[in-house]
Amino acid sequence: MQAVMRWIAGRSLGSLHASGAWIGWLAYALSPTYRRRLRAHAALAGLTDAERRAAVAETGRMVAELPWLWLRPHHEPLGALLRWQGAELIEQALDAGSGLVLLTPHLGCFEVCAQAIAERFGERTRLTAMYRPARQAWLRELEEGTRRRPGLETAPAALAGVRQMIRALRRGEAVGLLPDQVPPEGMGVWAPFFGRPAYTMTLATRLVQQTGAALLLIWAERLPRGSGYLLRVTQPEAPVPTHADSDEALQIACATMVNEQMEALIRRKPQQYLWGYHRYKQPRRVEAVSPQDGKP
């Protein structure tokens, strides 16, 4: 299978995006579960039929570009394929020296965000990105060997990963999270997402509260015909809540704020959101963790 992935990685980005649209529609046609989920989530967010159809093709493009991103040689920069809006916000956060938490939803090419940050800011800081290891052994091995690059470290979505991220923030470095990914049981709370309760991680805002790190939002818009990606960096439109009647109420308020910020980003380009993601599922049971566990 890895040989196939490497062959795919050798194609041009334009050809991968063209074929990826067909892959998206093939998956939509062959999987009733995926089809129902995508339709239901798109309807919940109020997408038009045209936006929903575009989302099917964009999901296929996302799948097709992954081998190219993962297996791209480390010495070959993305360079001209990247355009930036708001990069100065990252510069300012790094200048402050208190660490930086970067949040991106499953929107556009979220995989390229970490590589782009490492490429542009790697001489100033290291980015530690949290990920959930794949279930398939061959894919897990591939991810572990290719996601880690100069200026870029990975942290598993587990207690060890939380500790790793806290150490990074205390060194004044940056960390990256997908806040619309369903966390394990004990690492989240139920908060509205497009009007429906979704189990939402509390880690992102706890990291900010515990370390004093800055918080920024980032996503990468996939540009037409394989011409690259537009990295958009913005500040949250609302501050992280700091007071409530109880810690549970505070974490629900924080998760609600994060979900609202993610919704605002997604509505800017709903065609490129991963609507087929099982966002409203029950969390899996593992050991509960807290950023406080990361104290050295």
| Banded pLDDT at 62 (limits 50, 70, 90) | very high
pLDDT digits (tens, 9 = 90+) for 178-194: 999 999 898 999 999 99
**What distance in Å separates the CA atoms of residue 197 and residue 280, rounded to the nearest whole number?**
7
Over 70: is that where the pLDDT of 144 sits? Answer: no
Assign 143 a pLDDT band (cuts: 50, 70, 90). Answer: low
Question: Is-contact 209 258, C-beta < 8 A?
Answer: no
pLDDT at site 132: 76
Measured distance CA(260)–CA(238) in Å, rounded: 9
Indicate if the pLDDT at residue 15 is higher than 80: yes
CA distance 187 to 194: 21
pLDDT at res. 296 = 40
CA–CA distance, 56 with 79 (Å, rounded to integer): 28
Distances (CA, A) of 86 to 75, 107, 108, 266: 26, 17, 17, 17
Q: How confident is the model at residue 9 (pLDDT cuts 50, 70, 90)?
A: confident
132 phi/psi in degrees, rounded to 5: -105, 115
Read off the pTM.
0.91
Mean pLDDT of 22-37: 97
- Residue 289 in this model has a pLDDT that exceeds 60: no
d(C-alpha 99, C-alpha 81), whole Å: 27
Cα→Cα distances 48→21, 160, 209, 211, 267, Å: 19, 42, 38, 41, 12
- End-to-end alpha carbon distance in the chain: 40
